[in-house]
Amino acid sequence: MFTLQPPPSYRRKGDNMVSKLQRSLYGLKHVSRNWFSKLSTALISFDFTQSEADHSLFFLHRAPASVFVLVYVDDIIIIGFDATLLQDVKDRICTQFHTKDIGVLKYFLGIEVARSQHGLYLCQRKYTLDILDDCGLIGCRPADFPMEQNLKISDASGPILNDPAPYRRLVGRLIYLTITRPDIVHTINILSQFMHQPRQPHLDAAHRLLRYLKGTPGQGLLIPAKNALERSAYCDSDWASCPMTHRSTTGYCIFLGSVPISWKTKKQVTLSCSSAEAEYRAMAVTTCELTWLTYLLRDLGLPPPVRIPLYCGNQATLHIAANPVYHERTKHIELDCHVVREKLQQDLICTLKISSLDQLADLFTKSLGRPQFLHLRSKLGIRDRHAPP
């Protein structure tokens, strides 16, 4: 909390004065909100439209060209397909704000951007190497996969760390790495559950993940220049996987063509009485994400999809979704049933069975062995720009 005090000898004894703030000072809690309000007002005055799906995204469709502005505090990305319109937008912004044009996007908030005739490549190689260097593991022996298969760690195993701060800082930095590394999301989800009281096995698992990153520091996402725009999704759950609470884990991955655009691993908030119930909760979460992405992609100019394939490996879950009178296993998941069935009836999604060997969402719910992990990772669109062809 900040308190403004008048200058010395400015206030006399007994006076009750109120100070009026003329401008937002850096560091005050209202600064970011006031800044974004001023910037968004200016962009809207330039005929931009603020996205309802993501309020930090602004778009201007002026046929046949479009311009998109993505805002993160005072860092701005401007994307356009018409050089004249793009320059006009940049000039308008410069008239109201002191901005610096640093040219073609190459590095943004720790994310490296590389271009070629094959497409756009996103990675966090420098960020990864900085983490390894800070932990003193820049010369460690690499590992082929991030976590030992079927490893179960709890909050009561092993001695408590004397100083938990390095573990918390490490996991916090690793969470940011998941922006371009969906292959480590499951491991980091497990490690982040012990921030309150980390123990030695938790630190050992984190170091195992760093050894995996040592072998793959330059891996990232390749967005092909020629890519289909069809959407598809994979969802999965690991029933009662948490050894402390016996809650299930939800995992999903959503693709635009061959590129993953959204992924998540999260422990379910309630207990599931069966694997079918856990799978259905995962399907409902994925359906909600698909609905939001539909709104976002519509703002980007993509037409609404028809029947997005949603792949699930549990046959009972598919029956529950397809049959509105299948009540035997739905006593505790009525809300999730309504969400999925509504989108099925609206033809937003269509549910399909997939074998466990090809279920990409397994990467987000289970600690897999080396062969299966590498098999599924190869289908995620993850590439290493620095690796030999």
31 pLDDT tier (thresholds 50, 70, 90) = confident
In a domain, 19, yes or no: no
Say how far apart CA 164 and CA 300 lie, in whole Å: 43
Q: Averaging pLDDT over each range in 24-33, 197-206, 300-309, which range is the top one?
A: 197-206
Look at residues 103, 133, 148 and tell me which one is the last residue of a structural domain: 103
Say how far apart CA 373 and CA 263 lie, in whole Å: 16
pTM, to two decimals: 0.86
Q: Range of 280's domain?
A: 230-255+264-353
| 110 or 386, which is more confident | 110
Q: State residue 1's pLDDT score.
A: 47
Beta bridge partners of 267: 249
Beta bridge partners of 49: 59
24 pLDDT tier (thresholds 50, 70, 90) = low
Residue 199 per-residue DSSP state: B
SS3 111: strand
Distances, alpha carbon 60 to alpha carbons 47, 54, 78, 293, in Å: 7, 15, 11, 19
Helices (H), the chain: 31-45, 83-96, 125-134, 165-177, 185-191, 200-215, 275-299, 315-322, 334-345, 370-377
> Rg for the chain (alpha carbons), in Å?
25
Distances, alpha carbon 284 to alpha carbons 175, 257, 307, 349, 362, in Å: 24, 22, 15, 11, 17
| Model pLDDT for residues 89-142, shown as the tens digit of each residue | 999 998 888 888 888 899 998 899 998 888 899 999 999 999 999 999 998 899
pLDDT at 84 > cutoff 70:
yes
In a domain, 389, yes or no: no
Beta bridge partners of 232: 255
Distances, alpha carbon 47 to alpha carbons 44, 60, 61, 79, 97, in Å: 5, 7, 9, 16, 17
CATH number, domain with residue 295: 3.30.420.10
In a domain, 76, yes or no: yes
Are residues 333 and 234 both part of a single domain? yes
230: left (phi over 0), alpha (psi -120 to 50) or beta: beta
CB 132 within 8 A of CB 214: yes
Are residues 211 and 173 both part of a single domain? yes
Are residues 293 and 306 both part of a single domain? yes
In a domain, 135, yes or no: yes
Q: What is the per-residue DSSP string for 215-255? A: H-TTEEEEEESS----EEEEEEEETT--TTT---EEEEEEE
In a domain, 361, yes or no: no
| Model pLDDT for residues 311-345, shown as the tens digit of each residue | 998 887 887 777 765 554 555 566 666 788 888 88
- Report the domain count for the chain: 3
CATH number, domain with residue 67: 3.30.310
| 257 or 25, which is more confident | 257
Q: State residue 266's pLDDT score.
A: 93
Are residues 223 and 288 both part of a single domain? no
pLDDT at 33 > cutoff 90:
no
In a domain, 365, yes or no: no
